[in-house]
Chains A and B, each alone.
Chain A
Amino acid sequence: MKLKKTALAQGFIRCHDCGCLSKQSNNNKLCPLCGGQLHPRLPNSFQRTAALLLSAFCLYIPANIFPIMTVTRLGVGEPHTIIGGIIALINGGMVPIALLVLVASILVPLLKLLGISLLLLNIHYRWQSHTRKWTIMYRIIAFVGRWSMLDIFMISILVSLVDMGGVAQVIAGPAATAFAAVVVLTMFAAKNFDPRLIWDNQH
């Protein structure tokens, strides 16, 4: 009887924007309170999330292979990848900051990509157990996504501050664009994922 309890099963649609419930019928496509489009579930949630996730996976490779920035000191250039930057921090004795960058720019994007993939598999194969835990995982993924922008902001600050011609200069590399795209794409993927689909599959 669990299925009976969802609002959709009882003929109600919840507005995504204002949360107002309205009766499902053929003629009301707009929310009576805020005028937004009414959908029982996010439209094409699975397909959109999968497409965004796939693009993010592709861009994750150049984001890690190419240098994210090049530090030039007295004319000698030294390209850094994301991992190279972390190793440089550890060598400089700044382990806590290195850990922070490791979490924000390696672990979070990677776990997000894997996490969203697992959520999609969950929906596709209609896994029946630990529904609440999956929902909590979705919540964590949606919350932590923005913190990966840390690296991008740090580069933007370094690039503007360390700009002294031949003496010292920081130049952002091609991986910066790829990494920023990964962050944005995974954020959109999480936003397009509808956690109600996990609950809809339970019998």
Chain B
Amino acid sequence: MVATAINIHLRNMNKIDFTACPECDLLLNLAAPEVGDKAHCPRCGYLMQRPRKQSIERTFALSLAGLILMFPANLMPLVGIKMLGNTKDGTLWSGVVALFEEHLWGVAILVFLSSILFPLLNIILSLLISAHLYFKKPNRHLAHWMRWLQHMDEWAMLEVYMLGIIVACVKLASTSELKFGFGLYAFVALLIVTGMLASSLDKVLFWRQIGQLRK
């Protein structure tokens, strides 16, 4: 489904029934795609909206699951190695600490933010927003939370971290014995949950609901 472009004069409009493409600023009629449909900008092809079935309920449930999985994924060992009789376990946090001890505090902070803090905040904010929308409770911070969530989105890099684990394991496999901890399974589960969370959260719907709660 394609949102239709409009070309009429809008001099005396009071109520705005239009929207604009965020990437090419084409003025468009508000499209209301059905679940399973997608609305694209006709000029630049930007994906305007992709409604999901029970977006709010699913976001609520998935962020709750994600919050629970955060604990084992962060606290339990992801991978352990055995090399010449020595064993060592690695968690998300131990990587940050090791970088900090080598005085690479800039890199350590970046790793901490993108693999621990932002994923956690992402899930907490999704949970807070979807819970408020689910129970239809107005809150004056909803718009702020939603804005933070959108800005933080690309800085939570759990899936990239997963790839980092795989590459590190391949590098270590020839010289040492690898042991996968329970934390890794929780981490993979968390990855799946956050992926589903990102696709079930319909931003257009969320903003519309936040706007309605305000009135």
User: Which residues from chain A sit less than 8 Å from chain B, CB to CB?
Assistant: 1, 4-8, 10-12, 14, 16-23, 33-36, 89, 92, 94, 97, 100-101, 104, 131-132, 135-136, 138-139, 145-147, 149-164, 167-168, 171-172, 176-177, 180-181, 184, 187, 191, 195-196, 198-200
B18 contacts the other chain (CB 8 A)? yes
B75-101: which residues lie under 8 A (CB-CB) from chain A? 79-81, 83-84, 86, 88, 90, 94-99
Measured CB to CB, the nearest residue on chain A to B114 is A149
Q: Residue B110 contacts which of A21, A35, A152 (CB distance < 8 angstroms)?
A: A152
Measured CB to CB, the nearest residue on chain A to B30 is A21
Q: Residue B102 contacts which of A5, A172, A184, A195 (CB distance < 8 angstroms)?
A: A172
**Distance A184 CA – B146 CA, assembled complex (angstroms):** 23
A-B contact count (CB 8 A): 218
**Distance A196 CA – B115 CA, assembled complex (angstroms):** 32
**Distance A101 CA – B168 CA, assembled complex (angstroms):** 11
B83/A156 in contact, CB under 8 A: no
A180 — which chain B residues lie within 8 A by C-beta? 106-107, 110
**Distance A150 CA – B64 CA, assembled complex (angstroms):** 28
B27 — which chain A residues lie within 8 A by C-beta? 5-7, 10, 12
A159 — which chain B residues lie within 8 A by C-beta? 95, 98-99, 102
User: Which residues from chain B sit less than 8 Å from chain A, CB to CB?
Assistant: 5, 7, 10, 13, 16, 18-20, 22-27, 43-46, 79-81, 83-84, 86, 88, 90, 94-99, 102, 104, 106-108, 110-111, 114-115, 143-144, 146-147, 150, 154-155, 157, 160-161, 163-168, 170-172, 174-176, 203-204, 207, 210-211, 214
Shortest CB-to-CB span from A119 to chain B, Å, is 12
Measured CB to CB, the nearest residue on chain B to A135 is B44
Shortest CB-to-CB span from A93 to chain B, Å, is 9
B18 — which chain A residues lie within 8 A by C-beta? 7, 12, 21
Measured CB to CB, the nearest residue on chain A to B143 is A34
A19 — which chain B residues lie within 8 A by C-beta? 19-20, 22, 203-204, 207
A132 — which chain B residues lie within 8 A by C-beta? 43-45
Measured CB to CB, the nearest residue on chain A to B44 is A135
A146 — which chain B residues lie within 8 A by C-beta? 154-155, 157, 160
B146/A163 in contact, CB under 8 A: no
Q: Residue A156 contacts which of B45, B84, B107 (CB distance < 8 angstroms)?
A: B107
**Distance A160 CA – B25 CA, assembled complex (angstroms):** 47
Contact of A157 with B83 at beta-carbon distance under 8 Å, contacts A135-B44, A146-B157, A152-B111 already known: no
Shortest CB-to-CB span from B56 to chain A, Å, is 16
**Distance A141 CA – B16 CA, assembled complex (angstroms):** 33
B90 — which chain A residues lie within 8 A by C-beta? 157, 160-161
B99/A164 in contact, CB under 8 A: no
Contact of A176 with B107 at beta-carbon distance under 8 Å, contacts A7-B20, A156-B96 already known: yes
